[in-house]
């Protein structure tokens, strides 16, 4: 019998190959959550089609004792439930790995490999015998294979029982049939296979107080905590669930129990242009307002983002990046909107960007984005991606300081206006480039002004005078420089024991793989410092990091090395110093991939 | 450039209930062409706000891009104004309205801004019944870019260069009625007597109030052969009737002959007294309003006046059940669930 090179406890990858729309998602999540509940770090990735029903979909679960939460290549066990994708699924299994399939029908000879192990379970036959209803046969088939996996991997059965009970609150009737289905899987394994396998799990206490949530829900929750009251959006994968989560949490925590009235307004707009227009209008009128979209939506929002920048209106935009250009691969991940977002719109524009890496940062940076947008009176874009947004992640728990105040920025009220000789909407009173604004309705005779995307003077009066236009543009740069001191500083991972000539630089979801790659490189005697960028405009630390290292590997998930371009444009960084490590196949970047590219490029640079 | 208006006014100017003279409702001097229909409409807006005792700072004026969209600078200088993006005023107005339901929202647009680039936003603002007044200053052409036909130019109308429009025109008033607008009126910039009460009624209406105002472009579309010239419109205008807007009248006591005068009680207690000229038409019946427009159109008449009204309409806030307190007045205590709740949320995610 072929075997994996070593037996592995809490260190393997399982991939589920399913048919979209067959109810596999909740069964597969049950599997993931059971491992999480056993205290073992686990990271699932959905690899799904742009389809409602019928096309192949995969769910990949990495179990890692060491806490590596990035994706890893190489499948140790394949749960092959989709005949359509079976040829590729067989080929994807690592030598010595396992192939679990429905043996109700004989496996085609083409799918037989000598170097892997086959675990045939007659799932369809078992379901046909046990259930009469077609939908039940389908759904319980998924639960039966989870039961089988629990026996193969030694997942504690009471953990699964508990999860099933939690899944159906108030529907006690549904619990026993699910437990029964799990047991059918367990029983079959016990009667037919040597178990547990050489890959298995063992209870640990490694996840501590961590939570499991996707980044989109975290963004939605962050917006509730930040006091967003007006939200507008247009449905687009992979951002839709940001607004779903915001609506759910807002409905729960912002509804008056007696009147049913809600302290929130959510509008599904006719398109992304309208969505950002609503956000601009609401923020102009003093409400915290945001939208969520993906790359194509950002393209449509360009004109308004330019207006927001020039007319100086706060706005928060969550960009859940996906693979472009155009419709690209709408259900695959990428970090390819960096340049689009940084310079969105015509004319001289620049936008504040935040780059979260974890759900916790999605929560925090969304909340911070509202403060920054209002303090800087400009659009702020939270740059997450499909991997972070739509996959569940093990994350530190969310925290909220009840003493935190909403930083609403420089807004004058009626008594402030009384004490001012003449209000100048675009007058730089404090010398930081940030001027004072008023909300409509503040004062009968003072403080009104005319907002426009066209040139105006310090008192918001229309003018086509070149000098006035230039003064304003220069002040906007002064404000941009102020922003550098306000956005989150990067995270520096400094190798204390070694003087490193090389540095790696990354952002967003590349963090998981980059940190794992650093560990792998250390084992090979390659030591590097690392910097994780959290925001644009770049903090001084980014410039210092580039200046103090000979070569910088810039890791990013797009073809055109967009962050490298941004570093070159904004910091005049020497392009010869910046070596790109890229991944743009739509799958989350892996540590192996980074390691291979860095090693190869190191050899070249040393030659 | 903006030019401020001279401050000097006749000392005996009458004051409204708030103690303001009409000059308090004016804006900067217009930079539109002399004789532009839009300036007459701006004057109508000023008059209507004065008569309605509007506090200018409690009104927000919004527009898109174009000649018409410049006009908010020329009225109500004590109101916040927003000259937004071409065709996108409805979305900005939607956001502003959602943020603060206590203000009055006044939107100005043009035929290019509404019937072409902004058609999508226009129809969806109607669908949502946003509580605002939406005026289209409709001249059938693009003035700022030197007179190209717009989508409201009538089929067969001749422009200044002598070209005859071969495309069908979009009738915004019919469209608004069709889409479910709760207040639709049509007027002519040259008929201030009709326009002012229509604007006051529109502003009192608790939902989306649309007024399509034919407003000739003196520079590019006032020639012989144009169906949007002063001469043509004057000759072809046909009113549904005249209206008087009576604020907060306790009850209608006037007796009137069936079919000649109709009293429509507005949401806030005010009353629209309608002196009907078109007898077969019922302003509270959508189909009847559509027929009246089509019948007039068949006779090459432009039907003006109030066309349709649903006085008991529910606006967007009522449809989505937002709090009575404007959303922009809510503070952290009302909005943030706090750390204790967050701990529960965390617990539910383990």
**Gap from A77 CA to chain B (nearest CA, Å):** 26
Q: Which is nearest to B46 in space by CA: B33, B65, B31, B61?
A: B61
Whether residue B36 lies inside any domain: the answer is yes
- Write b or e for each residue in A50-75: b if 16 or more Cβ atoms lie within 10 A of its Cβ, otherwise e: eeeeeebbbbbbbbbeebbbbbbeeb
Torsion of CA A340, A342, A347, A349, to 10 degrees: 160
Q: Which of A173-182, A519-528, B265-274, B321-330 has the lowest mean pLDDT?
A: B265-274
How far apart, in whole angstroms, are the C-alpha atoms of residue A393 and residue A384?
A: 13
How far apart, in whole angstroms, are the C-alpha atoms of residue A49 and residue A197?
A: 31
Whether residue B194 lies inside any domain: the answer is yes
B30 has a pLDDT exceeding 70: yes
- Quick check: helix, strand or coil at residue A222? helix
Q: Are strands A8-9 and A199-200 parallel, antiparallel or unpaired?
A: parallel
User: Does residue A279 sit at the B interface (CB-CB below 8 Å)?
Assistant: yes
A361 has a pLDDT exceeding 90: yes
How far apart, in whole angstroms, are the C-alpha atoms of residue B113 and residue B71?
A: 13
Token pair 């003072």 in the structure block, residue: A446
B197 has a pLDDT exceeding 50: yes
Q: Which of A433-442, A481-490, B104-113, B290-299 has the lowest mean pLDDT?
A: B290-299
Q: How many Cα neighbours within 13 Å face the side chain of A446?
A: 13
Option in A209, A256, A282 nearest B98 (CB): A282
Residues of chain A positioned with their CB less than 8 A from the CB of B93: 281
User: Does residue A379 sit at the B interface (CB-CB below 8 Å)?
Assistant: no
Q: Give the dihedral sign, CA B4/B221/B66/B195.
A: positive
Q: What is the pLDDT of residues A126-142, one digit of tens each?
A: 999 999 999 999 999 99
How far apart, in whole angstroms, are the C-alpha atoms of residue A419 and residue A406?
A: 25
Q: Which is nearest to A442 in space by CA: B254, B240, B326, B213?
A: B326
How far apart, in whole angstroms, are the C-alpha atoms of residue A362 and residue A40?
A: 23
Neighbours of A590 (CB within 10 A): 21
User: Does residue A282 sit at the B interface (CB-CB below 8 Å)?
Assistant: yes
Q: Tell me which residues of chain B, numbers 120 to 149, contact chain A at a CB-CB cutoff of 8 Å.
A: 120-121, 124, 128
User: Does residue A247 sit at the B interface (CB-CB below 8 Å)?
Assistant: no
* Residue A158, pLDDT score: 98
User: Does residue A407 sit at the B interface (CB-CB below 8 Å)?
Assistant: no
Whether residue B68 lies inside any domain: the answer is yes
- Quick check: helix, strand or coil at residue A68? coil
How far apart, in whole angstroms, are the C-alpha atoms of residue A492 and residue A505?
A: 9
B349, A261: Cβ pair inside 8 Å? no
User: Does residue B57 sit at the A interface (CB-CB below 8 Å)?
Assistant: yes
Option in A263, A277, A464 nearest B327 (CB): A263
DSSP 8-state symbol, A461: -
A71 has a pLDDT exceeding 70: yes
Q: What is the pLDDT of residues A31-62, one digit of tens each?
A: 999 999 999 999 999 998 888 888 999 999 99
Query: CA separation (Å) from A263 to A268, A274, A314, B98, B315?
Result: 17, 22, 20, 11, 17
Q: What residue ranges in chain B does DSSP mark as E strands?
A: 59-63, 80-83, 104-110, 132-138, 141-142, 148-149, 183-188, 208-214, 237-239, 241-246, 261-265, 271-276, 302-309
A307, B97: Cβ pair inside 8 Å? no
Cis peptide leading into residue A471 (ω within 30°): no
Q: What is the pLDDT of residues A134-188, one digit of tens each?
A: 999 999 999 999 999 999 999 999 999 999 999 998 888 999 999 999 999 999 9
Output the six-digit token pair for A318. 């969550």
* Residue A154, pLDDT score: 98
Q: Which is nearest to B104 in space by CA: B322, B315, B330?
A: B315
**Gap from B67 CA to chain A (nearest CA, Å):** 14
Q: Give the dihedral sign, CA A581/A583/A584/A588.
A: negative
User: Does residue B332 sit at the A interface (CB-CB below 8 Å)?
Assistant: yes
Q: How confident is the model at residue A607 (pLDDT cuts 50, 70, 90)?
A: low
**Which residues span the domain enclosing B152?**
22-317
Average pLDDT for residues B132-155, to the nearest whole number?
96
The CATH number of the domain holding residue B151 is: 3.40.50.970
Token pair 């419109």 in the structure block, residue: B233
Q: Give the dihedral sign, CA B116/B121/B126/B127.
A: positive
B246 has a pLDDT exceeding 80: no
Average pLDDT for residues A333-349, to the nearest whole number?
97
Q: Is there a contact between B259 and B279 (Cβ–Cβ < 8 Å)?
A: yes
Q: How many CB pairs under 8 A join A and B?
A: 236
B57, A448: Cβ pair inside 8 Å? yes
- Quick check: helix, strand or coil at residue B349? coil
Q: What is the pLDDT of residues A386-412, one digit of tens each?
A: 999 999 999 999 999 999 999 999 999
* Residue B1, pLDDT score: 56
B199 has a pLDDT exceeding 80: yes
Option in B91, B330, B349 nearest A277 (CB): B91
Domains of chain A from N-terminus onward: 8-200 (3.40.920.10), 213-395 (3.40.50.970), 414-486 (no CATH), 491-606 (3.40.50.920)
Average pLDDT for residues A441-450, to the nearest whole number?
96
User: Does residue B102 sit at the A interface (CB-CB below 8 Å)?
Assistant: yes
Q: Which residues pair with B149 in a beta bridge?
A: B141
Q: Is there a contact between A467 and A494 (Cβ–Cβ < 8 Å)?
A: no
How far apart, in whole angstroms, are the C-alpha atoms of residue B263 and residue B241?
A: 13
Residue B248 burial (10 A CB sphere; 0-12, 13-18, 19+): exposed
The length of chain A is: 607
* Residue A6, pLDDT score: 63
Q: Which helix (H) or strand (E) holds B300?
A: none
* Residue A217, pLDDT score: 98
Q: What is the pLDDT of residues B38-65, one digit of tens each?
A: 999 999 999 999 999 999 999 999 999 9
User: Does residue B33 sit at the A interface (CB-CB below 8 Å)?
Assistant: no
Q: Which is nearest to B111 in space by CA: B169, B62, B51?
A: B169
Task: Quote the mean pLDDT of chain A.
Answer: 96
Option in A212, A397, A462 nearest B2 (CB): A462
DSSP 8-state symbol, A243: H
* Residue B252, pLDDT score: 42
**Chain A residue with minimum CA distance to B18:** A444
Angle among Cα B84, B88, B92 to the nearest 5 degrees reads 65
A254, B335: Cβ pair inside 8 Å? yes
Angle between helices B89-99 and B119-127 (to 10 degrees): 30
User: Does residue B16 sit at the A interface (CB-CB below 8 Å)?
Assistant: no
Q: How many Cα neighbours within 13 Å face the side chain of A287?
A: 33
Output the six-digit token pair for B167. 């495309």
Cα A401 to chain center, whole Å?
A: 23
Average pLDDT for residues A96-102, to the nearest whole number?
97
Q: How confident is the model at residue B264 (pLDDT cuts 50, 70, 90)?
A: confident
Interface-testing mutation among A209, A214, A259, A265, with chain B (most B C-beta atoms within 10 A) = A265
| Gyration radius of chain A over CA positions | 27
User: Does residue A232 sit at the B interface (CB-CB below 8 Å)?
Assistant: yes
Average pLDDT for residues A507-511, to the nearest whole number?
98
* Residue B167, pLDDT score: 97
Angle among Cα A314, A318, A323 to the nearest 5 degrees reads 140
* Residue A5, pLDDT score: 57
DSSP string, A275-326: HHHHHHHHHHTT--EEEEE-HHHHHHHHHHHHHHHHHT--EEEEEEEEE-ST
A414 has a pLDDT exceeding 70: yes
A400, B336: Cβ pair inside 8 Å? yes
The total number of structural domains that make up chain B: 1
Q: What is the pLDDT of residues A520-548, one digit of tens each?
A: 999 999 999 999 999 999 999 999 999 99
A451, B121: Cβ pair inside 8 Å? no
DSSP string, A339-370: HHHHT-SSSS---EEE---SHHHHHHHHHHHH
A15 has a pLDDT exceeding 50: yes
How far apart, in whole angstroms, are the C-alpha atoms of residue A45 and residue B246?
A: 65
Interface-testing mutation among A278, A289, A398, with chain B (most B C-beta atoms within 10 A) = A278
* Residue B251, pLDDT score: 46
Q: How confident is the model at residue B255 (pLDDT cuts 50, 70, 90)?
A: very low
Q: Which of A73-77, B267-271, B332-336 has the lowest mean pLDDT?
A: B267-271
* Residue B5, pLDDT score: 74
Whether residue B225 lies inside any domain: the answer is yes
B335 has a pLDDT exceeding 70: yes
A448, B56: Cβ pair inside 8 Å? yes
* Residue B253, pLDDT score: 42
Whether residue B17 lies inside any domain: the answer is no
Whether residue B339 lies inside any domain: the answer is no
A284, B82: Cβ pair inside 8 Å? yes
Whether residue B336 lies inside any domain: the answer is no
**Chain A residue with minimum CA distance to B339:** A400
Whether residue B6 lies inside any domain: the answer is no
Output the six-digit token pair for B197. 């009460």
* Residue B4, pLDDT score: 72
Q: Is there a contact between A101 and A80 (Cβ–Cβ < 8 Å)?
A: yes
Residues of chain A positioned with their CB less than 8 A from the CB of B339: 399-402
A225, B342: Cβ pair inside 8 Å? yes
- Complex ipTM value: 0.96
């Amino acid at each position: 019998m072929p075997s994996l090179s070593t037996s592995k406890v809490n260190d393997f990858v399982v991939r589920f190959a399913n048919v979209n729309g067959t109810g596999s998602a909740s069964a597969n999540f049950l599997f993931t959550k059971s491992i999480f509940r056993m205290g073992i770090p686990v990271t699932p990735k959905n690899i799904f089609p742009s389809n409602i029903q019928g096309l192949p979909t995969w769910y990949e679960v990495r179990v890692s004792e060491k806490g590596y939460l990035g994706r890893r290549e190489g499948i140790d066990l394949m749960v092959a439930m989709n005949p359509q994708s079976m040829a590729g699924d067989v080929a994807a299994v690592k030598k010595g790995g396992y192939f679990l399939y429905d043996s109700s029908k004989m496996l085609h000879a083409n799918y037989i490999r000598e170097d892997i192990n086959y675990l045939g379970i007659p799932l369809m036959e078992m379901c046909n015998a046990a259930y009469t209803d077609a939908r039940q046969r389908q759904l319980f088939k998924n639960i039966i294979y989870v039961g089988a996996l629990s026996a193969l991997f030694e997942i504690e059965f009471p953990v699964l029982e508990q999860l099933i009970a939690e899944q159906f609150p108030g529907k006690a009737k549904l619990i026993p049939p699910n437990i029964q289905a799990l047991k059918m899987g367990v029983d079959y394994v016990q009667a037919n296979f040597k178990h547990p396998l050489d890959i298995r799990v063992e209870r640990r206490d490694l996840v501590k107080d961590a939570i499991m949530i996707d980044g989109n829900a975290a963004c939605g929750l962050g917006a509730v905590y930040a006091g967003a009251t007006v939200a507008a959006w247009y449905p687009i994968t992979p951002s839709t669930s940001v607004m779903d989560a915001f609506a759910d949490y807002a409905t729960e925590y912002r509804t008056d129990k007696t009147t049913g009235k809600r302290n929130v307004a959510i509008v599904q707009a006719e398109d992304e242009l309208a969505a950002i227009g609503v956000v601009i209008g609401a923020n102009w009128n003093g409400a915290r307002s945001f939208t969520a979209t993906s790359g194509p939506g950002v393209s449509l929002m360009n004109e308004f983002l330019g207006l927001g920048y020039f007319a100086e209106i706060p706005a928060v935009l969550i960009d859940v990046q996906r693979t472009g250009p155009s419709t690209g691969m709408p259900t695959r991940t990428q970090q390819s909107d960096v340049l689009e977002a940084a310079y969105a719109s015509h004319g001289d524009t620049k936008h504040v960007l935040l780059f979260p890496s974890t759900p916790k940062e999605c929560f925090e940076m969304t909340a911070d984005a509202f403060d920054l947008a209002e303090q800087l009176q400009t659009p702020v874009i939270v740059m997450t991606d499909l991997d972070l947004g739509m996959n569940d992640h093990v994350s530190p728990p969310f925290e909220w300081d009840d003493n935190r105040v909403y930083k609403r920025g420089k807004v004058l009220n009626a008594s402030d206006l009384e004490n001012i000789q003449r209000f100048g909407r675009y007058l730089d009173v404090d010398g930081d480039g940030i001027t004072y604004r008023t909300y409509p309705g503040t004062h009968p005779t003072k403080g009104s002004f005319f907002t426009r995307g066209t040139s105006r003077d310090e008192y918001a009066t229309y003018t086509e005078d070149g000098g006035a236009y230039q003064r304003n543009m220069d002040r906007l740069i002064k404000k941009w420089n102020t922003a550098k001191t306000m956005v989150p500083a990067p995270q520096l991972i400094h190798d204390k024991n070694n003087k490193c000539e090389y540095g790696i630089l990354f952002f967003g979801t590349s963090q998981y793989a980059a940190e794992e790659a650093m560990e792998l490189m250390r084992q090979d005697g390659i030591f590097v410092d690392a910097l994780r960028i959290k925001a644009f405009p770049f903090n001084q630390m980014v410039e210092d990091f580039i200046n103090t290292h000979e070569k910088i590997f810039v890791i990013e998930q797009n073809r055109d090395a967009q962050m490298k371009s941004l570093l070159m444009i904004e910091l005049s960084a020497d392009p010869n110093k910046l070596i790109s490590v890229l991944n743009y196949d739509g799958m989350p970047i892996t540590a192996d991939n980074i390691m291979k590219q860095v090693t190869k490029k190191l050899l070249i640079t040393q030659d | 450039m903006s030019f401020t208006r001279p401050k000097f006014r006749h000392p005996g100017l009458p004051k409204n209930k708030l103690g303001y003279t009409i000059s308090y409702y004016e804006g900067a001097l217009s930079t539109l062409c002399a004789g532009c229909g839009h300036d007459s409409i701006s004057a109508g807006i000023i008059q209507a706000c004065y008569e309605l005792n509007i506090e200018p700072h409690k009104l927000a004026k919004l527009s898109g891009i174009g000649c018409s969209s410049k006009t908010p600078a020329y009225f109500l200088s004590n109101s916040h104004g927003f000259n937004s993006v071409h065709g996108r005023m409805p979305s900005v107005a939607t956001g502003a309205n959602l943020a603060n339901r206590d203000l009055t929202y006044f939107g100005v647009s043009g035929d290019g801004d509404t019937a072409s680039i902004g058609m999508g936003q226009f129809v969806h603002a109607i669908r949502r019944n946003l509580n605002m007044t939406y005026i289209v200053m409709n001249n059938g052409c693009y003035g700022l870019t030197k007179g190209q036909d717009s989508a409201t130019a009538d089929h067969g109308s001749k422009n200044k260069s002598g070209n005859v429009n071969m495309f069908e025109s979009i009738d915004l008033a019919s469209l608004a009625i069709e889409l479910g607008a709760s207040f639709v009126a049509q007027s002519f910039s040259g008929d201030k007597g009709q326009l002012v009460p229509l604007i006051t009624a529109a502003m009192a209406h608790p939902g989306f109030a649309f007024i399509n105002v034919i407003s000739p472009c003196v520079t590019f579309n006032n020639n012989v052969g144009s169906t949007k010239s002063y001469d043509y419109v004057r000759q072809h205008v046909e009113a549904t009737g005249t209206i008087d807007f009576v604020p907060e009248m306790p009850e209608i006591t006037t007796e009137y002959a069936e079919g000649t005068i109709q009293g429509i009680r507005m949401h806030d207690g005010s009353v629209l007294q309608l002196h009907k000229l078109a007898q077969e038409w019922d302003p509270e019946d959508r189909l009847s309003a559509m027929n009246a427009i089509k019948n007039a159109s068949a006779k090459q008449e432009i039907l003006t006046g109030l066309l349709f009204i649903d006085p008991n309409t529910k606006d967007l806030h009522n449809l989505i059940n937002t709090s009575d307190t404007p959303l922009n007045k809510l503070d952290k205590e009302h909005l943030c669930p706090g750390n204790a709740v967050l701990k529960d949320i965390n617990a539910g995610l383990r």
